[in-house]
Amino acid sequence: MLEVQGLKKKLDVAKFGGSLLDVEGQSIPKILQRIKELAEETEIGPIIVLSAPNGTTDKLIEIGNSYAQSSPILLDPIFEIYYKLIDLYVIEKYQDEVIKEIDNLKLLTLDALRSINKRFSGTIKARILTFGGELAMSTLLDYILKSNGLNSTRIPLSDWPIITDDVFDDATPNYDLSKKKR
């Protein structure tokens, strides 16, 4: 329960994992329907948590490893997934804006890939998987929701309030440091 000005309100959190988020976008209508249902059931929310589309994380790891071996694989196929889903599910009013944001995430991913020096691990790996996976998908879904008349807000990367330890594949959030960041 979330307490707002002395009132307790129900807040739902829904996670849509990679196996549901297919690269063809066939599951998007089902996801939209579920989000609409949750929005009707509660006074606030829901909060949506997303994984990267199915297979994207594995492909980003393959690309990262290829950069570590000095034989880079192209990143374009990953972002072509997002551009295709934009064409399918984002109305014209928002297309230029979302393309600009996805282009920026692609550049951030490329910058991180280019900074790999023999090892694909730690902070660099976390950035690549986040920029090319979860952040790109959350940006896309934000515009898909808006295109379907649903209120949507996402936390921009610059405002992310979660600071974790240095165990990048199994990080533990540090609540005190995260709170200070705000």
Residues 51-67 have pLDDT tens digits of 999 999 999 999 999 99
Residue 56: the pLDDT is 97
Strands (E), the chain: 2-4, 7-9, 13-16, 47-50
Residue type, 179: K
Mean pLDDT within 61-87: 97
User: What band does 83 get if pLDDT is binned at 50, 70 and 90?
Assistant: very high
Is the pLDDT score of 50 beyond 60? yes
Q: Please state, rounded to an integer, the average pLDDT across all residues of the chain.
A: 90
Contact in structure between 20 and 52 (CB atoms under 8 Å): no
Residue 19: the pLDDT is 87
Q: How far apart are CA 111 and CA 65, in angstroms?
A: 15
Question: Between the CA of residue 12 and those of 28, 89, 98, 134, what are the distances in Å?
Answer: 19, 24, 26, 20
User: What band does 163 get if pLDDT is binned at 50, 70 and 90?
Assistant: confident
- What are residue 115's phi and psi, to 5 degrees? -85, -5
Number of Cβ within a 10 Å radius of residue 10 = 12
Is the pLDDT score of 70 beyond 60? yes
Residue 8: the pLDDT is 60
pTM: 0.87
Is the pLDDT score of 41 beyond 90? no
Residues 97-121 have pLDDT tens digits of 999 999 999 999 999 999 999 999 9
Range with the lowest mean pLDDT among 76-80, 150-154, 178-182?
Answer: 178-182
Residue 33: the pLDDT is 96
Q: How far apart are CA 129 and CA 57, in angstroms?
A: 6
> What size, in residues, is the chain?
182
